[in-house]
Structure 1
Amino acid sequence: MAIDALTAQRLQAMHEEGFVLLRGVLNGRQINELHSAIDALQPQHWDYTGLVDHYKCVFNRDPLWLPYLDVPGVIELAEACLGADCHVIGQTAWRCHPGFIGGDLHQDYQVMELPESLLADPAFRMPMQICTAHLFLDRIDAELAPTCVIPGSHRAGRPPAEGERDWRGRTAQPVLCEAGDVLFFRSDLWHAGSRNRTTDRIRYLLQVHYDRRMVAQKFSPYLSWRFDPDVIAAATPRQRRLLGDHEPAEYD
């Protein structure tokens, strides 16, 4: 699959650092639209509210969310990392209120544990299986619950141990950015959430998980899952593929 020079540069960063920050992806209209759309959400199924409001599979609630599955610049990187037939396993909206605690250093998914000596070899590249896009809808400073990452830690070949705070002497760095920026990272990168230390600001975030074609899609509530017909009718061919409308393959 041919990719442009900017996507190639970002793909290289994904292999070397495990993440890349895409600047100015969303415009002011989109940011305002998503703020309003998240404020209008009501809990369903496994959603929860409190210090953090967490809404799962929002793409299935209104066609409004569909364009945020394949935002220009983001979708090209997702396809470069995971293949032109990649799909999504989630689109989640968040509001993190003052007092939100965050999360400890972790990986989202490690496909297999490998010796760090192998991953240190520049001739070896561990293929990506799942990647996540954080679409930030507010200016993220050190007080507003920034996501923290340890550059290069996907090459540890394992998840962090309990209480572990650094990898090869590198500690987690906060990703400080503007509203409309997107943090794109691989699932084996060591990363953490942090506290909302403000007294009057909410961190709004839209999160999209992309994965390879042969990683199963997992839409809660699973056995009772149904696509909204209005959403499917409004989806473009690429968006339908991202939602699972694939060409037949070996295991179909």
Structure 2
Amino acid sequence: MSTTDHLRALHDQGFTLLPGILDGPAIATLRALMDRLQPIHWDYIGLVDDHFKCVFNRGPEWLPYLDLPGVIELAEAALGGDCHLVGMTAWRSHPGFIGGELHVDHLAMELPESLLADPAFSLPVQICTAHLYLDDIDADLCPTLVIPGSHRAGRKPCTGETSWRGKSAEAVLCRAGDVLVFRSELWHTGSRNRTADRTRYLLQVHYGQRMVAQKFSPYLAFRFNPDVLAACSPRQRRLMGDHEAAEYD
């Protein structure tokens, strides 16, 4: 599929799967980087999962995952050539991990479903997330669950809601190195790790339109790592927020 095809899927289905973005050596490198992480600020190593925020700021070795070929072109096509990073989270989900309920990551405003159902209306993408899977994802290893087209619901799912327009959540089964890109209004969730001895390794990269604020924890105390900034390409600096002057600067 071309970038145009993937962009059409984002608008029609709310998500798209990009196969084979990472090769074997890149997968091994990223897994090793995640295994070396230690918690800071609000990060944690838990009983069934480990969660690390803003890992792009840990060192220059994380920079290649900001603008992976195939992924960054889709992000820029969906969000604009001046889009930027709004987060990068490393996540390990161990046996016993529970997952969660259907949710949306961000809904700018509620809209009538009748408007969103009109094929003449195209809802702009404001935020999208890339899931970089570092394991083969089967039905037992925490597959991401999505409801195709649910970004057109115009609202968040209610507590306990498991379907939309008769559609139930579908598991995204994929191979290590595949990348799932989905828009922030899509109804989705993580699912259980039912395996006895496998941990799901996942890197989440979140992109937003320029006017979507970058909210890097711990917020006022956040400081860019100078070693990271020194190693950035021009595109990576823009993703970090080094924009040209505009109306609200």
TM-score by length of 1: 0.98
| Aligned-pair CA distance for 1:10 | 0.6
Aligned residue among 28, 31, 38 for 1:35: 31
**Matching residue of 1:70:** 67
Q: Distance in 2 between matches of 1:164 and 1:228?
A: 42
**Matching residue of 1:117:** 114
Deviations 1:56-112 (A, max 9, x none): 000101101001000000000000000000001111101000000111100001111
Aligned residue among 160, 184, 195 for 1:187: 184
| Aligned-pair CA distance for 1:210 | 0.2
- Verify: 1:20 aligned to 2:16, yes or no: yes
Deviations 1:206-227 (A, max 9, x none): 0000000011100001111111
Report % sequence identity: 70
Aligned AA for 1:92? T
SS in 2 for 1:59: helix
**Matching residue of 1:10:** 6
Aligned residue among 134, 139, 150 for 1:137: 134
- Verify: 1:108 aligned to 2:105, yes or no: yes
| Aligned-pair CA distance for 1:18 | 0.2
Deviations 1:191-235 (A, max 9, x none): 011000001000000000000001110000111111111000001
Runs of 5+ unmatched residues, structure 1 = none
**Matching residue of 1:84:** 81
Q: Distance in 1 between matches of 2:189 and 2:9?
A: 19
Output the aligned Cα RMSD.
0.7
Deviations 1:132-171 (A, max 9, x none): 0000000000000000000000000000011111000000
SS in 2 for 1:91: strand
**Matching residue of 1:216:** 213
| Aligned-pair CA distance for 1:237 | 0.4
| Aligned-pair CA distance for 1:49 | 1.3
SS in 2 for 1:35: helix
**Matching residue of 1:176:** 173
Q: Distance in 1 between matches of 2:232 and 2:107?
A: 31
Runs of 4+, deviation exceeding 2 Å? none
**Matching residue of 1:150:** 147
Aligned AA for 1:114? L
Runs of 5+ unmatched residues, structure 2 = none
